[in-house]
Amino acid sequence: MLVALSLGSAFCFALALVLAVFGLRESAGAVGPMAGAGVSIPVTAALFLALSPATVDLSGYDPRGAAVFAAAGLFYPVAVTWLTFASNRRLGPNLTGALGNLAPLFAVAAAAAWLGQTPSLGQGIGVAAICGGASLLFLRGRGAAASVERAASAALLLPLAGAALRGLAQPVASYGLLAWPDPFAAALIGYLVSAAIVLAVVRGLPRLRGARASVMPGRAWLWFAATGISNGAAVLLLYAALARGPVAVVAPLVACYPVMTLALNRAVHRDRSLDARTGLGVAAMAAGVAMLLAG
């Protein structure tokens, strides 16, 4: 179950990256990444809120857990969503997915420091293999050098910052789940806090380019809403996995999403720009997963 939840989360993260391309394309530059976040996060928060009477177990309510979930919501998913949209717009889903794959390094390190979940040697090697294999999928030869050269250094910091925040959110949520082991509550509270923040930013900074969703084309709005629902499902599955297993196992499994991004991007957007190193990258990630689970 732990593996299925983690890989399901990875698939939903990958799907969200691919769907976001449609929203950014339909907006044709008329709106910015903040507008995309201003649609995707509130829509998902509203959906979680509507489902909460049937999904949230209030009998296990713990104020400490609720406070931790709210603290996580201050930056996840709001900051990570904005950084991902901005990176996707500048770098595309492949490079965004590759650099975002460094999240488990931050997650495992933070879990070891805060929760005492120190990975074994085999698990540590597995984490490194998964991260390295995902990088091989996208960062390759002259093509990678050209991609990096074309991208401003500031743009490359977008997915790296998103990876750091996504990684740090996992041990934070795991800590909250120790007090209130309800993944639905964790996702709901986090999304409600993030929705409040993004709506405040959109309304409070009218001069922010593309911040207002009211100028967004209808089809772009629908794509961003679909992206938000996919991201929300990914977060919910992630929290469900964290409620059942340590960060050192869950985070690297979820980090397999670049492989799924690659497959979906090829199927949906017909992106066939990758070379023979893809096989090596996939093999490295498979070996990493095997070592992780064996450890």
Q: What is the pLDDT of residues 76-120, one digit of tens each?
A: 999 988 888 888 777 776 667 667 767 888 888 888 888 888 887
Q: Output the CA–CA distances (angstroms, integers) from residue 161 to 53, 167, 234, in the order listed.
A: 35, 10, 19
Q: What is the pLDDT of residues 117-146, one digit of tens each?
A: 888 787 788 777 877 776 666 555 444 444
Contact 177, 243 (CB under 8 A): yes
Cα–Cα distance for residue pair 60/186, rounded to 1 Å = 12
Query: What local confidence, expressed as pLDDT, does residue 145 receive?
Result: 45
The amino acid occupying position 226 is A
Tell me the whole-structure pTM to 2 decimals.
Answer: 0.81
For residue 221, is pLDDT > 50? yes
Domain coverage including residue 20: 1-294
| Domains in the chain, number | 1
Least confident of 74-88, 143-157, 183-197: 143-157
Q: Which two tokens stand for residue 185?
A: 């509550």
Q: Which two tokens stand for residue 199?
A: 């709506």
Cα–Cα distance for residue pair 51/112, rounded to 1 Å = 34
Bond preceding residue 63 cis, omega within 30 of 0: no
| Residue 53 banded pLDDT, cuts 50, 70, 90 | very high
Averaged pLDDT, 59-87: 92
